A = this chain, B = another copy of it.
Amino acid sequence: MVNIIIITHGDFGAYITEAAENIAGPQNEGVKNISVSPKMSLQAVNELVEKAAKEYYSGDGLIFLTDMPGGTPMNVALPLAARLEKAAVICGLNLSMAVSAFANRKSLAFEPLVEKIQNDARRAICEVKGLLKKQ
């Protein structure tokens, strides 16, 4: 089973996790949320994420889901993931991304899971009134 660490600016990762668990079912183990507040020092964030990475890294792999490319959550996760063989950092967290990660982390191996999570998250982004008109 691939473990997931969700890191976001503020608390929205925890609320996305809650909404995703309502859809994909409760994730009793292997999922960790970390909220980054503007008041925390970079060192404090680093320590928190490093501790979680040690605890959650397993032979099956570890995926960090973070919010914006170039933001602190990504910047802190990336050097840690780079040192771990089976670790990835996916940016652009949305609800479909979390649902995909939760629903597939038990059945898919690390690399196909990394692909599926990105595809499901991207596919969710669409303007649906325009799609109606095209039908």
Contacts of A127 in B (CB 8 A): 88-91, 114, 118
Interface residues in A101-135 by Cβ distance below 8 A to B read 114, 118, 121-130, 132
**Chain A contact residue count (CB 8 A cutoff):** 45
For chain A, residues 13 to 42, give those with C-beta under 8 angstroms from any C-beta of chain B: 15-16, 18-19, 22-23, 38
Cβ < 8 Å to B, chain A residues 58-101 = 67-69, 71, 74, 78, 81-82, 87-97, 99
Query: What copy number does this chain have within its complex?
Result: 2
In the complex, which residues of chain B have a beta carbon less than 8 angstroms from the beta carbon of A94? Answer: 67, 92-94, 97, 121, 125
Other A-B pairs beyond A88-B127, A89-B129, A94-B121, 11, CB < 8 Å: A9-B23, A12-B19, A19-B67, A22-B38, A67-B94, A68-B96, A69-B123, A78-B129, A92-B125, A93-B94, A94-B97
